[in-house]
Amino acid sequence: METQGNAQPVADGSRRRRRPSTGYPVIDLGEAASVLVRASQHGWEHTVAEVAGYMGHATVNSGAFRAKLAALRDYGLVSGRGESLEITAVGRKIAIPETEAERRAALQEAFANTVFDGLYQESVKGQPIAIESIGRRAVSKLGVAPSSLRSFGETFARSAAAAGLAETTGDGKVTLFSRPQAGSSDADNLNPLAGASAAGTPAAVSPQAARGSAKPVLDQRWPFPDGEVALIVTIGRPLSAADFASIGKVVAQIEQLVEGLAGGEVSA
């Protein structure tokens, strides 16, 4: 330690900047795909406010929405600057693919765009791995914040499952599959997006299916230590901008509820 004049002693380490933690997508790939499907019903180009609505947010200024938008960029699903966004070529193949194989390949490309891919590449394939251990490796090798250990592992596992690269079993473990070579028939044996995530991540709903029958067009979940709150909208048509504005108000109330539940408060 050292002192200067009448100043209090200053520890050497206190002057050092804390090393920033490595970021990662805060929403899993399956949820990101669902957002694209909803957005694609209204075209390929959108304002930031419209994308917020598709995610169930009433404002573009919340940290939660900004983090989710950053996740879409991390996956390489949207591009653009300022208030204008465009769904990328990869995102379009996920939202409205010509074949399921095309969707799967695009999902795997999106997964490969993120920090998840490095851990996937070096992880053992075909054997159950504790999701918590994946989080620990992310902290030690990637510089992810220790407080995000669990969140990283769970988002990694759900994203790999959505891309057909893994299977979660609900016991805190995930089994990774080898990525097939281009054109390999083995790709058909991987789990497709629908039902790929055992953790409850919604499968993407095609615009055609959403118009033709009642399908979930919004499935957003808020986990907390003792449980989870879910908002699911099932309807046989695309949601309008007015619908999303109304949903945004409900989301704001849910977020307050989750905050209270997480803090152990009991509403009268």
How does pLDDT run across 157-193, given as a tens digit for each residue?
A: 999 999 999 998 878 999 999 987 555 444 444 443 3
Residue 88 lies in a domain: yes
**Domain limits for position 42:** 29-262
Q: Rounded mean pLDDT of 110-139?
A: 94
Residue 7 lies in a domain: no
* The predicted structure's pLDDT at residue 268: 40
Residue 1 lies in a domain: no
Cα–Cα distance, 252 to 229 (Å, whole number):
13
Residue 15 lies in a domain: no
Residue 52 lies in a domain: yes
* The predicted structure's pLDDT at residue 241: 58
Residue 21 lies in a domain: no
Q: Rounded mean pLDDT of 103-121?
A: 95
Q: Is the pTM of this model over 0.75?
A: no
Work out how many domains the chain is built from and give that number: 1
* Torsion of Cα atoms, 164 then 95 then 224 then 20, to 10°: 80
Q: Which amino acid is at 37?
A: V
Cα–Cα distance, 173 to 134 (Å, whole number):
10
SS3 53: helix
Which of 1-10, 47-56, 94-103, 256-265 shows the lowest per-residue confidence on average (mean pLDDT)?
1-10
Report the run of H or E that residue 110 belongs to, with start and end: helix 100-112
SS3 266: coil
The answer, yes or no, to whether residue 66 has pLDDT greater than 90, is yes
Is 28 within 8 Å of 67 (Cβ atoms)?
Answer: no
- What angle is formed at CA 205 by the lines to CA 96 and CA 220, rounded to 5 degrees? 125
* The predicted structure's pLDDT at residue 44: 95
By percentage, how much of the chain surpasses pLDDT 70?
Answer: 69
Half-sphere exposure of 143 (CA within 13 A, CB side): 6
Residue 86 lies in a domain: yes
Q: Rounded mean pLDDT of 87-112?
A: 95
SS3 214: coil
Report the run of H or E that residue 256 belongs to, with start and end: helix 241-262
* The predicted structure's pLDDT at residue 207: 42
Number of helices and strands (H, E) in the chain?
10, 8
Cα–Cα distance, 183 to 57 (Å, whole number):
40
Residue 249 lies in a domain: yes
SS3 203: coil
